[in-house]
Amino acid sequence: MTYRKIDTRIWNDAKFRTLNEDGKLAFFLLLTHPGMTSLGALPVHPAGLAHTLKWLPERFMEALAEPIAKGMVEVDEDEGMLCLPNFIRYNPPENPNVVKAWASSADMLPECAMKTRTLSRAYASLKGRSKSFEEAFVQRFGKQFGKPALNPMPNQEQEQEPSSALEERGGTYTHACAHEGETGEVPFDPPDNLDEAMAWVKRKGVPPENEARACSLLMNWGLTGSLLDELRGAA
């Protein structure tokens, strides 16, 4: 995708303004990357993007940690995919033919839960548009995406359980129906912010080189018990 819209009001956005300089640059890299698809998803491993900025991979992941925590970016390091959840909001399809062309973008993405979530989000964005938009989507992708996205981001407007409860539960699982993964494991509930996530990860004994990835997974409902063991280097 060689052209996309960037709303100048981004400089008034509270989430963006509170990012540090590295976080802002990393976010702009994703937003303007030549490989970004019209679905708002980018098929690339984060470490590969670090080279574009001539950064070490660790610096790039640290820069992404806060945008991830704020729900501005989603990352699947294992599959090699990043997503901007609000991308289509600012780059909506201009006509049904653009919706049909989404199929080409989808073909570039790895088969994974994030791809399913991205397509579900794209379908939901068509609500309120002309019926021909939804018909074009169903023609290309079928009707299976007309249901809530898998592992949706938590609604920040809803009252959430205090983050201290994460420690009180001792790392137990909740929301089993909403967030159960393909392996049958249910991820840990994320805390309210990145600082609490980092503190929790440190207390769990995750080594420094894996802290950024652990935080990313935790804040996006992707950190399970087995993944935590792997990141801690457990046998």
Over residues 42-53, mean pLDDT: 90
The answer to whether 132 touches 96, Cβ cutoff 8 Å, is yes
pTM for this prediction: 0.62
**Which residue segments constitute the domains of the chain, with CATH numbers given?**
8-89 (1.10.10), 93-141 (no CATH), 165-232 (no CATH)
Mean of all residue pLDDT scores within the chain: 80
Q: How confident is the model at residue 193 (pLDDT cuts 50, 70, 90)?
A: low
Strands of the sheet containing 41-42, edge to edge, are 41-42, 81-83, 74-76
User: Mean pLDDT, to the nearest integer, of 207-221?
Assistant: 77
Q: What is the pLDDT of residue 158?
A: 34
Tokens of 182: 């393909």
pLDDT at residue 189, as a whole number: 78
Residue 75 has pLDDT above 50, yes or no: yes
Window from 78-82, 149-153, 226-230 with minimum mean pLDDT: 149-153
